[in-house]
Amino acid sequence: MLKHPLPRLDKDEELRNLLLPYCRLHYGEIWKDKKAGHRVICCDCTDKDLLSKLFENFNGKLAIHDPPYNFNAFQKYDENGFYNWCKKWIDITYLFLDDNSSLYVWLGAEHKNFFQPFGIFLNLMSETNFKSKNFITLRNQRGFGTQKNWMSVRQELLYFVKGKPTFNIEAEYTDIPKTLKGYYKTINGVNTENFERSKSTNIRAGNVWIDIQQVFYRMEENVNGCYAQKPLKAIERIIKASSNENEIVFDFFLHSGTTLIAAEKLNRKCFAVDIDPVFCEISIRRIEHFRNNGKTGWQNSNPFYEEIMSNKKIKNYLKSKYKIEY
Ligand SMILES: C[S@@+](CC[C@H](N)C(=O)[O-])C[C@H]1O[C@@H](n2cnc3c(N)ncnc32)[C@H](O)[C@@H]1O
């Protein structure tokens, strides 16, 4: 069991209101990091004017977006509404990307609804100036499903490009040793075995990533209070492959701050957006926590631990509603 858990913050309006006074960004405000040049803005990612303030004269080399795609479950948008909403932030992404750059989008496919919004999103992308480049599957360790269907263990990641961006092939190698030997091919008249031809003795990740652990509460990188955290290793792989040091990587759906931490670790600058001041605050605290303690998350604690300890109202609320004792 976790020592100091924090429930999902998006689901509990009262708890959010208790934590809001501790959040440093109000809507439209930007946190500018003096140390590494990262920026976080609290705003809607379809607000072009505010995003112009975030970017000023800069452009990104890589965008990694993880939008809330579960629009049916949350009944926020119908299919047209989702298309129109995505179109706005995809157009803005294009605008703030360099001429030669990459875009990765995490998306879901609901099997009960003809795998939407996957199809809608692909249609939208086919009408833009981005070129499709790959469709990556990240395999989860845990799944969901019934006894009457294949278990769902996949996360979909789409890769698009604008122009001809960097692709650092070294980033693709996993820690998994190659086992296949004896695959011969004649190169320049010489018969070579696959190990002689290869750059590495480990296998390439390819477009099915099986070597990344899904985030769960016992991992150091876990951020309690968040509900949709992506594994740091996945974001680091993307950043290493599709950008170089000191370049700008941006993320319009920052949430737990995974892209921010990955960019910090890999000497890139992260420009990030989240509409929710609570998640902006969590992300900024996560990078501060990483700089102060070398930890990528709060395995046994949470980003608001200090405030909870000193605020009786929050403590009592957590105790009465969730039976969580601080
Ligand atoms: C699926 S989560 C992203 C998870 C993230 N990749 C991570 O690893 O933590 C989606 C985030 O998008 C934010 N969001 C939703 N609508 C938004 C909008 N219109 N503009 C900016 N952020 C938005 C939510 O507050 C939420 O934190």
Residues 21-41 pLDDT 10s: 999 999 999 999 999 999 999
| Strand (E) or helix (H) holding 192 | strand 190-193
Which of 16, 66, 233, 255 best tests ligand 1's pocket when mutated (most atoms within 8 Å of CB)? 255
- In this structure, the number of other CB atoms found within 10 A of the CB of residue 156 comes to 17
Q: Which residues line ligand 1 (CB under 6 A)?
A: 44-46, 66, 68, 226, 228-230, 252-253, 255-256, 258, 273-276, 279
Residue 74 confidence (pLDDT): 55
The pair of structure tokens assigned to 114 is 């003809």
The pair of structure tokens assigned to 65 is 């977006």
Q: What is the pLDDT along the chain (326 residues), one digit of tens a residue?
A: 677 889 999 889 999 999 999 999 999 999 999 999 999 999 999 999 999 999 999 999 999 999 998 765 556 778 889 999 999 999 999 999 999 999 999 999 988 889 999 999 999 999 999 999 999 999 998 877 778 999 999 999 999 999 999 999 999 999 999 887 778 888 889 888 877 777 788 999 999 999 999 999 889 999 999 999 999 999 999 999 999 999 999 999 999 999 999 999 999 999 999 999 999 999 999 999 999 999 999 988 999 999 999 999 999 999 999 999 88
Residue 246 confidence (pLDDT): 98
CA-to-CA distance for 99 and 274, rounded, in angstroms?
25
- The third-level CATH classification (topology) of the domain covering 31-166+212-297 is Rossmann fold (3.40.50)
Provide, rounded to the nearest whole percent, the portion of the chain with pLDDT above 90.
79
Burial status of residue 187 (CB atoms within 10 A of its CB: 0-12, 13-18, 19 or more): exposed
Domain boundaries, the chain: 31-166+212-297
Ligand 1 geometric centre to CA of 77 (Å):
16
CA-to-CA distance for 160 and 43, rounded, in angstroms?
25
The pair of structure tokens assigned to 39 is 């920026």
Ligand 1 geometric centre to CA of 104 (Å):
15
Cβ distance 289 to 298 under 8 Å?
A: yes
Which of 54, 274, 279, 281 best tests ligand 1's pocket when mutated (most atoms within 8 Å of CB)? 274
Cβ distance 22 to 240 under 8 Å?
A: no
66-98 pLDDT, tens digit per residue, is: 999 876 555 677 888 999 999 999 999 999 999
Altogether, the residues listed in the chain come to a count of 326
